[in-house]
Amino acid sequence: MVTGVRLAVVGATGAVGRTIVRLLEERNVPVSSLGLFASRAHEHGIEFAGRTYPVHPVTAEALAAYDAVVFASSEDAGLSYAPSLVERGVVVVDNSAAFRLRDDVPLVVPGINDAALMPGVRLFPVANCTAIILSAALKPLRDAAGLRSVTVASYQAASGAGRAGLDELESGERALAEGRQDPPARVFAAPLARNVVPLVGEPDAEGWTVEERKVCAETRKILALPDLWIAATCVRVPVRTAHALAIVAETERRVASDDLAGCYRSAGHVVFHETGIVTPRDVEGTDLVHVARLRSVDDSGRHFALWAVGDQLRAGAAAPAVQLLERVLSAAEIGT
């Protein structure tokens, strides 16, 4: 029986890292020793379970002392440290895109594709936040009638760009409220306050952004539908921490709307709103994806539209990371 795990969190001072530390405490994860790391030491520590933990500069030697390491940092950190840690038998949960699409690495989203959690695996990428919310919303459809195609427009919160994104939104809102010109955009493609920016990341030669390609490729992998046709348009909106998605899906087989609603009601990984709406502000600080406005597009029984929202920091990043750690702990593969 696992009584405690020696756990390190890299990127602990960022928005996702701080949320992971908070969730570890909220969910009573059995942590016997906690190490908090960032690219540099920080003057102020981080609270966990009634005490303040210092934040140290990350090094390979320091991470080697832990049973598990959760990366809430850049791809560079994961690529630099994860391979050698895994070779030593350390469990790695990585929130970056570095390993998500590798054929030899499962992309597990707890509650959606738990069967992909294979024994003996030590490297667990956390999927893109938008792909997690999309996959959660699509799973009942896939299970009920298969999926042939998906068109999705995302409305992504400032927190998806980290603490810098939140700071830029807040400074812009404050400037406009005070009658001043908002500062020039540095994090986003255009000023975000009182605006909608239809570009998340830089477009490639074909006009698709890295974010849009991540959403499509990772959703296919999570849902085990490698040939699923998906088109995504990713949009940044002046919302703090919750993403929203407008989805239109075509199923492989006919399904009655009432039967499909029943599938959503019984799905444990989403909160289904049969009537009314749910907004990003409604779900801030929560760990589940919410689905609303499920409706038939036509009389075919194969075309449906729906709306999904989820807190980007929690449902789309920190909660899946902590839940992956919990599942590995429950398999008694790490800890003491």
CATH code (residue 65): 3.40.50.720
277 plus 200 within the same structural domain: yes
Identify the burial level of 258 via C-beta atoms within 10 angstroms of its C-beta, where 0-12 means exposed, 13-18 middle and 19 or more buried.
exposed
Task: Output the pLDDT for position 41.
Answer: 78
> Dihedral angle at the C-alpha atoms of 107, 113, 118, 123, nearest 10 degrees?
30
Strands ordered across the beta sheet of 229-236: 229-236, 149-156, 242-250, 303-311, 289-296, 270-273
223 plus 266 within the same structural domain: yes
Report yes or no on 336 lying in a domain.
no
- Examine the residue annotation and report whether 129 is marked as an active-site residue of this protein: yes
Q: Which of 42, 44, 56, 129 is catalytic?
A: 129
113 plus 212 within the same structural domain: no
Task: Output the pLDDT for position 264.
Answer: 97
Distance CA 300, CA 159 (A): 39
Please, which residues have CB within 8 angstroms of residue 248's CB and are 6 or more apart in sequence?
150, 151, 152, 297, 303, 304, 305
82 plus 143 within the same structural domain: no
Looking up residue 145, the CATH number of its domain turns out to be 3.30.360.10
79 plus 206 within the same structural domain: no
Domain count, the chain: 2
35 plus 147 within the same structural domain: no
- Examine the residue annotation and report whether 273 is marked as an active-site residue of this protein: no
Per-residue pLDDT of the chain (336 residues; tens, 9 = 90+): 457 899 999 999 999 999 999 999 999 999 999 999 998 877 789 999 999 999 999 999 999 999 999 999 888 899 999 999 999 999 999 999 999 999 999 999 999 999 998 888 999 999 999 999 999 999 999 999 999 999 999 999 999 999 999 999 999 999 999 999 989 999 999 999 999 999 999 999 999 999 999 999 999 999 999 999 999 999 999 999 999 999 999 999 999 999 999 999 999 999 999 999 999 999 999 999 999 999 999 999 999 999 999 999 999 999 999 999 999 888 765 655
Q: Which of 42, 44, 234, 243 is catalytic?
A: 243
Helix, strand, coil % in the chain, rounded to nearest 5: 35, 25, 40
The tens digit of pLDDT for each residue in 294-325 reads 999 999 999 999 999 999 999 999 999 999 99
DSSP for residue 251: -
For residue 102, give its domain range.
Answer: 5-126+318-330
For residues 82 and 92, is the Cβ–Cβ distance under 8 A? Answer: yes
280 plus 194 within the same structural domain: yes
Report yes or no on 43 lying in a domain.
yes
For residues 318 and 241, is the Cβ–Cβ distance under 8 A? Answer: no
181 plus 326 within the same structural domain: no
51 plus 198 within the same structural domain: no
